Amino acid sequence: MIRTFVVPSIIVLIFLGLAATLMATAPVLEPSSETPKLPTVRVSVVQPSSVELKVHSQGSVVPSTISQLIPEVSGRVTWTSPSLVAGGFFEKGQELAKIDEMDYRNSLDKAKALLKRATAEREHAEYEYTRLRSLAERKLISKSALENGLRAYRVAQAALEDARAGFEQAEENMKRTTLRAPFTGLVRSENVDIGQFASRGQPIATLYANDIVEVRLPIADRQLAYLNLPPLRNGNFPVSLQPTVKLTAEYGGNALDWYGTVVRAEAEIDTASRMIQLVARVLSKDTDTELSVGLFVEAEISGLAVNDIITLPRSAIRNSNSVLVVDENDRLRFRKVTTLRHYKDSVLISAGLEGGERVCLSNIQTAVEGMQVNPIFAERS
């Protein structure tokens, strides 16, 4: 009986006593309010400035003047210049090739002889006509005899003029047996050797001038708004309105720069791509390193200068036309802006922001109007 009821009761009382003791000695938990942690964002203090707009393009260098070396007389080629090879350099007026001149020298000698004969006949006819006129004044000859003398004089004068023209033509043909460079430049290709027969009017080489080179630069028509160009009525731009262009290329393992101007636009707009071909020109005398024909270059064209422009990273734009501004209370405010242009990794803003305002640059996924943030200033690059 004692074992059945008394012992369990004693054990229960002991546990109840221990539980009461633990509850009496347990620490009292007092509620505390935690301050929420504010999101940290990078901000930039914007200031308007003047910006020069630029337009980028690319193209290959081509010569401004290309000409074919064409003989004006026919004959066997007796000599060619060492410069008359692909890539050969020549000066203006330099002899490049010679054609056998024997036939043309003989023709010149014949023309010279004919000229001497015609000169003598004309002098004799003039003397005879003078004598007949003197006799006619004294009425010693008939009028018809005087007219015959005048006719003979005029025929002799015409024969002299014809002989003189023949002599000049023979002399010119003689000069044409030597082919000279029409300008200073380089040989693109040649297809003649000593001993070959060169026909009149058949090109024997292709030459190009190296004093001026050009680059055709395709530009989207919408980008013309960034350039200070006149209306495309006439392809050539006035000198005062020719934009400066900077050309860059990798050549021989080195990065090289050249400077020129955009001188004209081609007449037509490509209907498929809506691209306009601008032509940049570079003068060799203005460069330290020659711009090689065929080189592929990147072009940066200087455009309009605009004022009161704020430049921000592209990541700062939200919903295509808004930014987040952090106000004086460190709260986010959505602001609509007017973008002038997206340029590389930046965006140019022309309206909607004031100088001194703080713009959020951080990418906040759940930005809410009026959200309080902890702004830190972004390091300027």
pLDDT tens digits, residue range 237-260? Answer: 888 888 999 999 988 788 899 999
Q: How far is CA 78 from the centre of its chain?
A: 42
In a domain, 156, yes or no: yes
| 120 phi and psi angles, rounded to 5 deg | -65, -40
Q: What does the alpha-carbon distance between residue 287 and residue 289 come to, in Å, rounded to a whole number?
A: 5
Buried b (16+ CB within 10 A) or exposed e, 353-363: beeebbbbbbe
**What is the spatial distance between Cα 189 and Cα 60, in angstroms, rounded to a whole number?**
19
Through-space distance between the first and last CA atoms of the chain, rounded to whole angstroms: 92
On whether both 215 and 329 belong to a single domain, the answer is no
pLDDT at 85: 94
* Residue 69 pLDDT greater than 90, yes or no: yes
Q: What is the pTM of this model?
A: 0.71
Q: Which of 357, 323, 326 is nearest to 338 (CA)?
A: 323
Residues 194, 80, single domain; the answer is yes
Task: Say if residue 101 is in the same domain as residue 166.
Answer: yes
Clarify whether residues 264 and 366 are in a common domain. Answer: no
Note the pLDDT of residue 232.
Answer: 62
* Phi-psi domain of 182 (left: phi exceeds 0; alpha: psi -120 through 50; beta: other): alpha
Domain that holds residue 190: 67-198
Tell me how far apart the alpha carbons of residues 79 and 195 are, in angstroms, rounded to a whole number: 8
CATH number at residue 247: 2.40.30.170
Mean pLDDT throughout 127-134?
91
Q: Does the pLDDT value for residue 230 go beyond 80? A: no
Nearest to 204, CA basis, from 48, 74, 321:
74
313 shares a domain with 288: no
Mean residue pLDDT of the chain comes to 87
Domain boundary (286, 306, 326) is at 306
Q: Is residue 147 part of a domain?
A: yes
64 neighbors 214 (Cβ within 8 angstroms): yes
**pLDDT digits 0-9 by tens, 92-124:** 999 999 999 999 999 999 999 999 999 999 999
